Chain A
Amino acid sequence: MQPRLTPGNVPPAGPELVRLEGLRRTYGDTVAVRGADLVLRRGEVHALCGHNGAGKSTVVRMLSGQETPDAGTITIAGEQVRLRNRRSAQAAGVALVDQELSVVPALTVAENLVLGDQAAGWLYRRRQVRSRARKMLDELGLDHIDPYQQLSTLGLGERQLVEIARAFGQHAQVVILDEPTATLSDVESERVYDAVRRVAAAGSAVLFVSHRLGEVLELCDRVTVMRDGAVVADVASADLTVNALIRHMLGEAPTTLDKQPAADGEIALRLIDVAVPHRFESLSLDARAGTVYAFAGQVGSGAADVLRAVAGLEPSLRGRVSLGGRRVSSGSPASAARAGIAFASGDRKSEGLFLSRSVGVNLLATRIPDLATGGLVRRGRWRRTQQQVAAECGIDAPLATRVGDLSGGNQQKVFVGRALGRSDVKVLILDEPTRGVDVGGRANIHQLVRRAAEDGLVVLFASTELDELLDLADVVVTMHKGRVVAQHRGEVSDDTLLYEMTHGTSAMVGGRQ
């Protein structure tokens, strides 16, 4: 289907800046994009939506010079261009925030901000770079970050903000933001939206890819929807609702999670005065089997650090973690895993998936001892379990596909699926379980998590998304600057959570335990 471009629904934007016509890209036998058309105008914030594997990221890769199209043309400012690499795309005025975090830990913040910027020249003028970096950081409200700070000392969300600051600082005529807010809290996302609006107001075009449909409709002027490699709609966002957008993306009506009240199970996991210096202060929690606990907080609140500490990833953990009455050796991920704690990190690329191995191998990577007899893996049992786990997790990609070739959302499903349905797991820990996952995949993952709780597991997760906290959790623990603000069981309003997460006080009380 061709994009629905009708004169009546075109919002008032500037002249045409980018035109993609008939773009096509195949990988082996798989057609990732089949004849995609897209028009971006000056001063426009244009969303590109679609479920995982719809072809959005491939379009982004072609427009940013990371892939060359098999067929079709790219025209920027009236000139047909051939974007062979990122450098040529930069020369054509295209800046990018990639779906995967693309800043370098070994460099300082300032060095990252000018890395690869051809306009900066070959000479590295330290003072000039520092003042430019300071300005770039300040424009995104990152005044607490020192430009000479090593990037490795920043958290995931702050690194993402540095990458966004870099893209905006290049003063490009086209800025592509592929899932820029996936690792950010609502407050930080707002800062990004402000910056996006400023960049568009200055005459650039912004292509915004996101699975957060609310932010898409709030921020963007137009929405192009892709499904199965083709553009299926191009609509002014004023004419859309979230449900209508989901129908365009999935081709059907959205499903909602049927959340049952948590069973009052036994206390299984106890955190007694646990703390990690400089990350979070002393915290205690008695977690019951069959209950989903959410740790809610902005980036840097310590919410994700609590999960990492319980999973044995913080060697400087103080206090005591016990599971089923037995102490779990702290600071050792192997001991935590042996005790029955499964952890899915928020950084699936460097702390989770084996990107060069197949979907099947990744799904079973943590179950090998169960599938082997006398050290030998039983092939029949291996194949059956692979198929069973893939079906349970709603993974429709062929099991032999390299995980690195999957879309970000499908990678996340594989990552979460690896921790599910295992008899040895008693506690399931998920850091940002639906980061970069489309609305359909998100519902799948939420159902899997609820089912895990119904099967008697303790589930702990951290999320910066209010909708996810409210939809999925039985108990929400809000955190601010490393300190627990409040603990809520049952109904709680999003206003209350947001207030506690941003102010660090529980002035607005709602459903406190």
Chain B
Amino acid sequence: MRRWHQIHRIFLSRPERLLPTSALGITLLAFIALPSYSDAELTSFDTYNALQVFARLAPLVLGLGLTMLAGEFDLSVVGTYALGGMLAVQYGGTDWKLGIAAALGAGVVIGLTQGTIIARLGVPSMPVTLATYIALLGLTNALSGGLSKSYANPDVTLWLDKPVSEVFSPRSLMTIAAFVVIGSILGFSRWGREVRAIGSDRRASRVSGVQSDRVLIGLFVTSAVLAATSGALLNYSLGAANPDPGVQPLILAAAGALLGGVSLSGGHGSVAGLLAGALTVAFLAQIVTAAQLPTYTAQLFYAGLLALIVVVDAPGLQRAWTRGTIRITSRKVLT
């Protein structure tokens, strides 16, 4: 009984823990059972592919999720991702480090600018980051002349996607490392609590002594640096830079963050949850590819999933559920 109470307290009563674990568990089961409901055969290459999708999306999930944890939204991640990738290809042709440095520099400047406007001037993050997203796409197009640019350093391209232990690649391992580093920093330092605190109640956090402005600026810089670096690594890996990645990466990043248990109203969620959310989206994408389902199926599936998450999170639905349950049980007692 005591153990059940403990499980309930630390797991079942905490949707930010329950949701990512259940979503990842169900997705992995569906992935393992793939041959039983499709003609696909499951090989280590499928896992490798899923982790490559993970490497592409997970930094965006992490960046967006961290800002959501603090009660904000960084919609500019895809713009920063495109610009970082373009700068890396443009300046990293002869030396890949120069390209990475250019992407990182852009990320820091974008994050600092956005964070300062949002934290110090109190402007809502949604319009600021949306405007930045549009401006960055324009800037990326201007840099490339509206065309894709190729990256002529095959050594880097081959190394980044080289299989490691059959299922990993240096890129996916670097992405996992980013989660471990950021997760450890937030898990073992006071900053993790401060991020959740300002997402839950910013005024109370300030009164408690949390320097919420600095924390917010730090989060926006982290988000932009993750997006820019991820764009750089992706373009090195593809051997080309696309000036307009479209909105799908943003949609998948938002789905990953929500599946990772981050609350829309802020304050709830964790880096471990975001890792689970990103893995869920990546393995779902691989299931759709391996089972050769039409593209629209995946889109409808993601839309349904997002709707489900939002509905489950809705307080009105929870109230209605409780009321309904009590009415039914009361009727049973009366009869």
Contact = CB atoms under 8 A, between A and B. Distances in A.
Interface of A: 66, 85-87, 90, 96, 98, 100-107, 111-112, 114-118, 120-124, 149-150, 166, 315-318, 330-332
Interface stretch (B159-167, B207-215, B277-285, B292-300): B207-215
B318 to A, nearest CB: 8
A107 to B, nearest CB: 6
Interface in B185-228: 187-194, 196-197, 199-201, 203-211
B2 interface: no
B282 to A, nearest CB: 28
A332 B209 contact: no
Interface residues of B, number: 34
Counting chain B CB atoms within 10 Å of each CB, which of A96, A100, A112, A124 scores highest? A124
Given A100-B203, A105-B201, 7 more contacts: A86-B209, A87-B211, A102-B204, A104-B197, A115-B193, A116-B194, A315-B319
A87 B208 CA distance: 9
B332 interface: no
| Chain A contact surface mostly | loop
Contact of A66 (B190, B194, B207): B207
Contacts of B9: 149
Nearest to A332: B323
B335 interface: no
B171 interface: no
Counting chain A CB atoms within 10 Å of each CB, which of B191, B201, B209 scores highest? B209
Contacts of B200: 104-107
B147 to A, nearest CB: 47
A331 B315 CA distance: 13
Contacts of B248: none
When A and B form their complex, which 10 residue pairs have the shortest distance between CB atoms, in order from nearest? Answer: A116-B209, A106-B200, A106-B267, A116-B208, A315-B322, A102-B207, A102-B204, A331-B323, A315-B319, A104-B197
B152 interface: no
Counting chain B CB atoms within 10 Å of each CB, which of A102, A121, A332 scores highest? A102
Interface string B136-170: 00000000000000000000000000000000000
A115 B194 contact: yes
A333 B307 CA distance: 26
B56 interface: no
Contact of A115 (B187, B199, B208, B267): B208
A508 B144 CA distance: 87
Nearest to B199: A106
A172 B259 CA distance: 43
A331 B200 CA distance: 26
A289 to B, nearest CB: 28
B330 interface: yes
B188 A123 contact: yes
B326 interface: yes
B207 A124 contact: no
A485 to B, nearest CB: 26
B330 A318 contact: yes
A330 B199 CA distance: 32
A106 B190 CA distance: 15
B83 to A, nearest CB: 32
A116 B191 contact: no
Contact of A104 (B188, B201, B319): B201
Contacts of A98: 207
Contact of B322 (A90, A102, A316): A316
A109 B93 CA distance: 53
Nearest to B202: A104
A104 B205 contact: yes
Contact of A120 (B14, B190, B196, B323): B190
Contacts of B189: 122-124
A106 B201 CA distance: 8
A149 B5 CA distance: 12
Contacts of B319: 315, 331
Contacts of A102: 201, 203-204, 207-208
B326 A318 contact: yes
Counting chain B CB atoms within 10 Å of each CB, which of A104, A111, A120, A332 scores highest? A104
Contacts of A331: 319, 322-323, 326
18 contacts: A66-B207, A85-B211, A86-B206, A86-B208, A96-B207, A102-B201, A102-B204, A103-B204, A105-B201, A105-B267, A107-B200, A116-B205, A124-B188, A124-B190, A315-B320, A316-B326, A318-B330, A331-B326
Nearest to A151: B200
A88 to B, nearest CB: 10
B197 A106 contact: yes
B211 A115 contact: no
A107 B193 contact: yes
Contacts of A87: 209, 211
A260 B263 CA distance: 52
Contacts of A116: 194, 205, 208-210
Contacts of A107: 193, 196-197, 200
Nearest to B209: A116
Nearest to B201: A104
Nearest to B211: A87
A115 B210 contact: yes
B194 to A, nearest CB: 7
A104 B201 CA distance: 6
Nearest to B330: A318
Contact of B204 (A104, A121, A150, A330): A104
Contacts of A149: 9
A378 to B, nearest CB: 32
A121 B323 CA distance: 46
A166 B209 CA distance: 12
A107 B268 CA distance: 9
Contact of A90 (B192, B209, B330): B209
Contacts of A332: 323
A166 B193 CA distance: 15
Contacts of B207: 66, 86, 96, 98, 100, 102
Contact of B197 (A85, A90, A115, A118): A115
A21 B207 CA distance: 24
Contacts of A117: 209
Given A111-B193, A120-B190, A124-B192, A104 B208 contact: yes
A66 B209 CA distance: 10
Contacts of A114: 190, 193
Contacts of B206: 66, 85-86
Nearest to A126: B188
B190 A122 contact: yes
A116 to B, nearest CB: 3
A322 to B, nearest CB: 16
Contacts of A106: 196-197, 199-201, 267-268
A87 B318 CA distance: 39
Contacts of B267: 104-106
A483 to B, nearest CB: 21
Contacts of A150: 13-14
Contacts of A96: 207
A128 to B, nearest CB: 12
A86 B330 CA distance: 52
A107 B190 CA distance: 12
Counting chain B CB atoms within 10 Å of each CB, which of A86, A101, A106 scores highest? A106
Interface in B12-32: 13-14
A118 B210 CA distance: 9
Nearest to B325: A316
